[in-house]
Structure 1
Amino acid sequence: MEHFLENYGHLGWGKWYDALEKLVKNKRAFLDSAGGNFEKFKGVVDDLPKICPRTVDISSDLSAKAISIGQPDQVSPDDKERLYNGLANLSPWRKGPFNFFGVHVDSEWQSWMKWERLAPYLPNLKNKKILDIGSSNGYYMFKMAEQEPMFALGLEPQSAFYYQYCAAQKYLNLKNVFCLQATYKDLPAMNRFFDLVLCMGILYHRKSPVEMLRQIHDSLAPGGQVVVENLVIRGENNSCLFPFDRYAKMRNVFFIPDLSAMEAWLFRAGFSHIRCVDITDTTLEEQRKTPWIQTESLEDFLDPHDPSKTVEGYPAPVRAVFMATA
């Protein structure tokens, strides 16, 4: 992440540059001395075999599903086993799939399906400044990197996902993709800076979704765009579901809006040209348990007798993608 500041410190950072530099240094110091899972996962990435891939495929083409790194004949049997074990020790792999020198990481989410729904609506990314909030292992940033943005900056606080990103970057070595082990709240207010902000699968975890959308709005350059992918309930009654306790076994789910409420949130946050570009039921094809996660998945979150409902009796997950302009 220090390279991000070195490479782009000449930009019009404004008075918050010092705060960002301090955040980066603090996070670096934390990662260098952290124990627990951070120390464990850092060791896993450090121990992955050092191989220079002959080829990489981060194609944004809709026919390319996996982030593909190297060829199987580049690794010895011993290194392949070491690679497999290391990647497995970084589980759970939520986003993907990835292919590391013939080791196929079959992630819980088939993220190419969401990319397929989103990609046709993205603006031209060349030389753009992109922020991905809750970037996980970087799957979507890697997909966007092929279109030559100035940079894609991800924020990912969780240890396993951050080090999955580090594992992929160890081999991809993409010069315009970065990730900071931080939350969006940690980031200083970088007003009128980004050209595109992705906020996917995040907003329903926030107690104040409009406040977050307003902060995103203010971080965008005039004419910049936001992508919000969020749980929704079908209908246009300007209403929200607010679970009593859990939704699909998740504790930290607060407001799930219908389509009109989602549009109203974006409008109240200052956005214009608001449009819903996709509404899709989450299916067992897109989200399912694989050997690369050790937790429950969608099938366990639905009523076994009525899959149109969650185990709590709420409507089953539906996700919508909204685009809007600052």
Structure 2
Amino acid sequence: MNFFDPFFDHISHNRLDKYEDAFRQSLDIRFHQRDHGDMPAWEKAFSQLPDVTPSRLDNTSDTLMIGSDSDLTPEQRETMVAGLRGLHPWRKGPFNFFGEFIDTEWRSDWKWQRLAPHISPLKGRFVLDVGCGSGYHCWRMLGDDASFVLGIDPSPKFLFQFHAVKKYQPTAPVFYLPLRSEDLPQNMQAFDTVFSMGVLYHRRSTFDHIDELKATLKPGGELILETLVIPGDENTVLTPSDRYAQMRNVWSIGSAEATKRWIERCGFVNVRIVDETVTSLEEQRQTDWMTFQSLKDFLAPSDITRTVEGYPAPCRAIIIANKPS
């Protein structure tokens, strides 16, 4: 099963065409040459999705809509639900497949509602979404009339979740590559808007990540960076001794003002903090489509303003900046 040919066919006619060899090399190293033990199960799950033409598609609603209940027979529905459940856990969404509501762990639509009023209009823009998860926000970007959207995330399971939607919008200019930002061709300067949401604190070097994002942007392009923050001034940074909210790979969390300064130090201009929101138990929670532990399990039982390790509970900031023209 090759999900990548449509991407290469598409970029042969746009500004990314000169990077085809670099993209192929990164995919070989990061995906094709690696063993993914669950791949047969994911392929089987994906094959259970019905080959039908949806009667409706809506990438503008909070719940992404693919088809209607009446598009499927009862037998097709049963098989489809089994396939979608075979791609559990569903973390970023929500989605509705032919009347089947996928109640994901995260209310990703809430994040979109927080950032949408502050960003430049996406109409006609080339957009990159770093750490895109299942691709929910990529489809929202298309819904806002972006001309091309590329999502990257190293998870092969998210690749299949993305293509569960893409299967029913095969010609949409939205694509997913199982890569990290450090795997992208160097100094592309190709994208008008770049999103990095929920990635910065997972990187050993925050400055390297910000520089990587900057290198993908055209001069004058816009960066939307969403990340964990802690209370404090521009000098406040938390480096967890081990885990943060039970996550192993959290290296540093700055205050919103500290993160703003990091972005400025990397050469961005017009840097502004547009939102800070404490993550609620309603925004991130266990559901029937994500049955593992979630936020409530990562907070101190006696004080939900602290993590189980004693750190400030998760709060997320959205920071917008521009690459100099």
Greater shift after overlay, 198-207 or 154-163?
A: 154-163
After superposition, the Cα gap between the structure-2 partners of 1:143 and 1:323, relative to the gap in structure 1 and judged at 3 Å, is same
Give the 5 Å matches for 1:225-264: 225-264=222-261
TM superposition score normalised by structure 2? 0.93
Paired position in structure 1 for 2:5? 2
**Superposition CA RMSD, Å:** 1.8
> Contact 1:233/1:258 (CA < 8 Å) preserved in 2?
yes
How many pairs align?
A: 320
Alpha-carbon shift at residue 12 of structure 1 (Å): 4.3
Q: 1:185 & 1:279 partners in 2: Cα distance?
A: 27
Alpha-carbon shift at residue 294 of structure 1 (Å): 2.7
Paired position in structure 1 for 2:156? 159
Paired position in structure 1 for 2:322? 325
1:176 to 160, 173, 178: 173
1:289 to 277, 282, 286: 286
Alpha-carbon shift at residue 320 of structure 1 (Å): 0.3
Q: What amino acid is aligned across from residue 286 of structure 2 in structure 1?
A: K
Q: What amino acid is aligned across from residue 260 of structure 1 in structure 2?
A: E
Q: 1:218 & 1:65 partners in 2: Cα distance?
A: 31
Q: What amino acid is aligned across from residue 39 of structure 2 in structure 1?
A: F
Alpha-carbon shift at residue 25 of structure 1 (Å): 6.0
Point out where structure 1 has 5 or more consecutive residues left out of the alignment: none
> Contact 2:150/2:174 (CA < 8 Å) preserved in 1?
yes
**SS of residue paired to 2:92:** coil
TM superposition score normalised by structure 1? 0.93
Paired position in structure 2 for 1:71? 68
Paired position in structure 1 for 2:25? 22
1:265-296 CA-to-partner distances (Å, cap 9, x unmatched) read 10111100000110000001101100111310
2:295 to 293, 298, 316: 298
Give the 5 Å matches for 1:96-245: 96-245=93-242
Alpha-carbon shift at residue 175 of structure 1 (Å): 1.9
> Contact 1:301/1:310 (CA < 8 Å) preserved in 2?
yes
Alpha-carbon shift at residue 220 of structure 1 (Å): 0.7
Paired position in structure 2 for 1:42? 43
1:151-184 CA-to-partner distances (Å, cap 9, x unmatched) read 1001121122111001111123352100012222
1:64-87 CA-to-partner distances (Å, cap 9, x unmatched) read 320011110111111111111111
Point out where structure 2 has 5 or more consecutive residues left out of the alignment: none
Q: What amino acid is aligned across from residue 264 of structure 1 in structure 2?
A: R
**SS of residue paired to 1:210:** helix
After superposition, the Cα gap between the structure-2 partners of 1:261 and 1:56, relative to the gap in structure 1 and judged at 3 Å, is same
Q: What amino acid is aligned across from residue 169 of structure 1 in structure 2?
A: K
Greater shift after overlay, 251-260 or 42-51?
A: 42-51
Q: 1:314 & 1:305 partners in 2: Cα distance?
A: 13
